[in-house]
Amino acid sequence: MTTQLYSHPIFLEHLTPPGHPERPDRMRAVEKALAEPKFDALIRLDAPRGREENVFLAHPESHMAFVASAIPETGMRRIDEDTIASPQTFEAVMHAIGAVTAGVDAVFRGEADNAFIASRPPGHHAERETAMGFCFFNHIAIAARYAQEKHGAERVAIVDWDVHHGNGTQDIFWGDTSVLYAS
């Protein structure tokens, strides 16, 4: 089985305050685990920068404009109690979007059996029009819509095994029978 692993150094540059649960050390822990010899077969690729129009597969232009305008030039800015933006946050989320769309392309083209995206900040709490819960854009929702729009997938299943519910993914696909969301 061929697995493509997408990651990028920019994911370490999305900063949060000391002690915040979603911090660069989470990415370092993933990288350390995937450096084990049992993962040598992974095809490791840099996450490309995503195309901004792919954001609109799951979010309106007004949300993209809000996120872009929320990025500080220096320091950090709270979007809500849990969601923090820093100067490289926008680039990090755009590379996460590039990773999920590249992974979808690779699977549909038969270049890989599956893809693993090691990115941050995460995405499953971002609702259609709201950044929240560490998340700015909903990467998995974008990937699902991308599979439908670009590759003609009629039905998509999203299995979310995080510790708690991905309310943003539910929000985006509520009532959409072409996407099964299991959390």
Q: Which residues are catalytic?
A: 125
Give me Rg for the CA atoms of the chain: 16
A 10 A CB-CB count for 171 gives: 18
- For residue 102, the tally of other CB atoms under 10 A from its CB is 22
* Contacts for 171-175: CB closer than 8 Å, 24+ residues apart: 171/127, 171/128, 172/58, 172/127, 172/128, 172/138, 172/141, 173/141, 173/144
What is the sign, positive or negative, of the torsion defined by CA atoms of 141, 49, 6, 25? negative
What is the β-pairing status of strands 84-85 and 77-78? antiparallel
Query: Within 13 A of 18's CA, how many CA atoms are on the CB side?
Result: 0
The rounded distance, in Å, linking the Cα atoms of 27 and 70 is 23
